[in-house]
Structure 1
Amino acid sequence: MAALALRSAGHLTIFYIYSHAEYFCAFHVVDFRIPTFGGGYKYLTTWNMNFQTFYFGLCCLIDLIEAFSKRRTVPRKLCSFRDWFLAAIAFPFGLVVVIMFWAIYAVDRELVFPARLDDIFPSWLNHVMHTTVLPFLLLEFYFVRHRYPSRKNGIFGTLFVGLSYLFWLLYLGFVMDIWVYGFLKVLSGAYFVLFFVGNALLLLVFYLAGEKLNAVCWGSPGVDLDIEMEKVD
């Protein structure tokens, strides 16, 4: 019971942090309040924030069901969806946002986070969006055992979301002439293609890294929900 309480407190805290950050963006960040085509959803960071908020909100729901269920069991399909979402979307895209943002920031911050944004985005918000994503996910892997989906189903989900964002990005750039990331506009054809191919491969690497991390933490790629419930008890 103590393990469930600790896990629930962690999930609720992280969900609150992300929810507060999304609220702050929606009502206090000028760039998000000005009505422009696509709004804040032009950015992968915003997509990822929604992914992380949804995931930890789902974790809170599962914790609540488990706490008030007489047998302390959770519907298997709900847990399977949670595990699939973590494997296919929350973890790989969370890593892409953190690593790509800070890697490009280190080379030339003007490409991803111009200095003018320092007066718009408070430091804590920047770190919630681009830094704490990784430690929060690592804590999730450490404290909660997940059953990873088959690679076919997991990677399909990763590629589907990745391609969806790619098509959205290309539509904004070539049709609406809105280049979300300025450096893409100046890349020549071959480098332009290589950039996106490289990011697709990076997503696949991060998917496999999540699978491996889960195995390292728990000794196997995945387990039945019944085993997880026994461990919590």
Structure 2
Amino acid sequence: MALPILHLAAAVLFCYSIWYDQNYVKLVVVKNLDGYPCNNRVLFLTIWCLVIQTVYFIVACINDIFGTNERTPLKPPTIRKIKDALFSLAFPLAIYVTVAFWSIYLWDKELIFPEHVRKAFPVWLNHAMHTMVSVFMIVEMLTSYKTYPSRLLGYTLMSCVVLPYIALLFILYGQTGLWVYPVFAYMNWAGRIVFMGSSVCLAYGLYFASEKINNILHPTRMEYQNGNTNSLLHSGMCQ
């Protein structure tokens, strides 16, 4: 019962956060720029992450009702497969957003969250977007086993978020000569390339690490099946 409550709480919080941001947060991302989705918020990786977390927990709620939370179901329903695949993307992305945001914030908040942005965002919304995404994902990791997709599919899902977002940053720079994150304005091109390259490596590294952590925290499907097979063989031999 605790797991469905967790999923519902996260889904409600993130849905409300998106609704509040779109209706009450008045923020000029870049002057004289308009036409991008979500009141130009699509220019921030944070909103990409928040939408993915929201979709994940909504799917998790659907799985709670129509699917299964069994550790390793022999025939997992489609909704469970979708849920587990989404988790493989949502977890590393949430951890990356939290680590990147708060690391730069502690170094110099003006580089990532300048004063005019801080004034526009309520404290609770800032934490919902940059802190709670990781808190819910970590609790989710600790409380249930996920069957990760193949590495090819997992890295493809990650690439479908990371690479288009980087392209969007360059498109914005080409249009305006400005960077949505002030930190890039203080770097030369070598620094920007190194930063972005390191960020991509970190994102993929977090995916790999999350898969390993998942298998350490919970017995893997293969171990479970091997255990059942050995038990059946032993039982048959005893007969």
- Shorter-chain TM range is 0.7 to 0.9
Aligned-pair Cα RMSD in Å: 2.7
The AA in structure 1 aligned to 2:49 is: N
Contact in 1 for aligned 2:62/2:79 (Cα 8 Å)? no
CA contact (8 A) 1:147 1:223 kept: no
* Amino acid paired to 2:85: W
8 Å contact from structure 2 (residues 14, 128) kept in 1: yes
Aligned residues: 217
- Aligned to 2:181, the other structure's residue is in SS state coil
Q: Contact 2:67–2:77 at 8 Å: present in 1 too?
A: no
Contact 1:148 1:222 in 2 (8 A): no
How far apart, in 1, do the equivalents of 2:148 and 2:223 lie?
8
Partner residue, 1:36: 34
The 3 A distance-change label for structure 1 pair 221 and 130 is: farther
* Secondary structure of the structure 2 residue equivalent to 1:145: coil
In structure 1, the gaps of 5 or more residues are 225-233
Runs of 4+ in 1 over 6 A off after TM superposition: 32-35, 221-224
Asked whether the 8 Å contact 1:148–1:221 carries over to 2, the reply is: no
Letter of the 2:158 counterpart? T
CA pair 140-223 structure 1, distance change in 2 beyond 3 A: farther
- The CA deviation at 1:79 is 1.4
Secondary structure class of the residue paired with 1:36? coil
Letter in 1 for 2:8: L
Given that 1:173 and 1:179 are in contact with CA atoms closer than 8 Å, whether structure 2 keeps it comes out as: yes
**In structure 1, what is the equivalent of residue 23 of structure 2?**
27
Letter aligned with residue 145 of structure 1? Y
Judge conservation of contact 1:42–1:169 (CA < 8 Å) in 2: yes
Cα displacement (A) at 1:111: 1.0
Displacement of 1:37 after TM fit? 3.7
Alignment of 1:120-131 (within 5 A): 120-131=120-131
Amino acid paired to 2:87: L
Structure 2 residue runs without a partner (length 5+): 225-239
- Per the alignment, in what secondary structure is the counterpart of residue 30 of structure 1? coil
Within 5 Å, which residues of 2 pair with 1:85-96?
85-87=86-88, 89-96=89-96
1:45 and 1:97 map into 2 onto residues whose CA distance is 7
Is the contact between residue 178 and residue 185 of structure 2 (CA under 8 Å) also seen in structure 1? Answer: no
Question: How has the CA–CA distance of structure 1 residues 184 and 99 changed in structure 2, closer, same or farther, with 3 Å as cutoff?
Answer: same
Q: Distance in 2 between matches of 1:65 and 1:37?
A: 39
TM-score normalised by L of structure 1: 0.84
SS in 1 for 2:148: coil
Distance in 2 (CA, whole Å) between partners of 1:61 and 1:102 is: 32
Equivalent residue for 2:62? Answer: 61
Q: Which has the larger radius of gyration?
A: 2
Q: Is 1:12 matched up with 2:13?
A: no
Structure-1 separation of matches of 2:189 and 2:165? 19
Corresponding residue for 1:230?
A: none
TM-score between both structures, scaled by the size of structure 2: 0.82
After superposition, give the CA deviation of every residue in 1:12-46 in whole Å (9 maximum; x if it has no partner): 01100101111110111011799834211110001
Q: Which moved more, 1:128-137 or 1:180-189?
A: 180-189
